Amino acid sequence: MEQNSITKLNKQFEEYAYVQDGIEYWFARELQELLGYTDWRNFLNAVNKAKESCETTREAVSDHFVDVNKTIPMPKGANKEVSDIMLTRYACYLIAQNGDPKKEQIAFAQSYFAIQTRKQEILEERIQLMERLHAREKLAATETELSKNIFERGVDNKGFATIRSKGDCALFGGNNTSTMKRKLGIAESRPLADFLPTITITAKQLATEITNFNVKKNDLKGENSITGEHVKNNHDVRGLLGKSGIKPEELPAEEDIKKLERRVKTLDKQIAKKNLKGNN
């Protein structure tokens, strides 16, 4: 396919895209024109095959193919209501895959939507990974603040480790930090939080934040009083999780946060590469 054709088709496909609530979509009747279908009924055959493919991938058809009605202008100022379908990028990709690749428009669409759909998948994956990374960074900052607060109140490094471990014991239903590491197969030298799911990291961060607040507010001093405060807060947070049927000690370990950081860097490179392709 010549570069001029690629540039022209890319512009057309972008111009026909709509955005609603941050989600891009195309109208089936306009996609029909873009893909070179002259007959609506023939195009619907491709749409129906795409729906079947969507079901095969265990995606909800209703999330990607939304039936709508719209009014189109007719000669002499009249209007006519016709049925149409709002299509996500993924739906467009499946429709293109069911077309004849010998047609220039369909050959382009197959590549165009494949790249864009994959880019969206990468973006969604990156967002999920970043949520866990941000939660871990926030916990680290809160624990650093706690260590600073308690050192100023007569607690040494050993005492800080004891306070944190007893807090974990309260959060994890009687399992202290070392016990949870053995339970999840984590090396003793590695931080427990580097392998916890986002919900548990967030729970630890909330309990620690409350401890920081009350240590300063009530001017708590000494290991015993601060331990009691931290245990209470972790116990309270555990109770909150329990109301939603969540037991932190029963949740499986997740990917090492260090590996996750490397994955994010890899995804960033993939996104940059796909953005470069999309702009060419």
> In 3D, which of 86, 106, 85 has the Cα closest to residue 97?
106
Which residue do the tokens 């054709």 mark?
5
Q: Who has greater pLDDT, 260 or 67?
A: 67
What local confidence, expressed as pLDDT, does residue 213 receive? 96
Distance, CA of 95 to CA of 78 (rounded, Å): 32
Task: Break the chain into its structural domains and give their ranges.
Answer: 3-99, 127-270
**For residue 38, what is the DSSP state?**
-
Q: Which two three-digit tokens encode residue 72?
A: 């189109």
pLDDT digits (tens, 9 = 90+) for 15-63: 778 888 777 888 999 999 888 888 888 889 889 999 998 888 888 899 8
Q: What global pTM score does this model have?
A: 0.57
| 150: amino acid identity, one letter | I
Question: CB neighbours (10 Å) of residue 83?
Answer: 12
**Residues with Cβ within 8 Å of residue 47, at least 6 apart in sequence:** 28, 65, 85, 95
Question: For the ranges 97-106, 128-137, 172-181, which has the lowest average pLDDT?
Answer: 97-106
Distance, CA of 84 to CA of 86 (rounded, Å): 7
pLDDT category, 13, cuts 50, 70, 90?
A: confident
Collapse the DSSP code of 83 into the 3-class scheme (helix H, G, I; strand E, B; otherwise coil) and give the result. strand
Which residue do the tokens 């590469």 mark?
273
